[in-house]
Amino acid sequence: MRIKLVKGFSGRTQKQKSTILSLGLRRIGDITVQPNNEATKGKIAKINHVIEIID
């Protein structure tokens, strides 16, 4: 699954920032390909307001 960062780090908690970085997203507009498994889905659930699922 492809994930895109659409909002920045400003105003996010340290836990949210760590989750975003663990997905390989560094700056707005970054896109990363992640496996479609339970661990990735859990991370997405925690930061779904700052990312966009492309496919």
Q: What is the CATH number of the domain that holds 16?
A: 3.30.1390.20
Q: Residue 47's domain spans which residues?
A: 2-53
Collect all residues with Cβ–Cβ distance below 8 Å to 8 and sequence separation of at least 6. 27, 28, 50
pLDDT tens-place string over residues 31-46: 999 999 999 999 999 9
Split into its structural domains, the chain has a count of 1
* Cα separation, 18 vs 43, whole angstroms: 10
**Comparing 2 with 55, which gets the higher pLDDT?**
2
What is the value of pTM for the model shown?
0.91
Q: Which residues of 5-26 are buried (b: 16+ CB within 10 A; e: fewer)?
A: beeeeeebeeeeeebbeebebe
Residues paired with 32 in a beta bridge = 3
Query: What is the band of 55 on the pLDDT scale with cuts at 50, 70, 90?
Result: confident
pLDDT at 7 over 90: yes
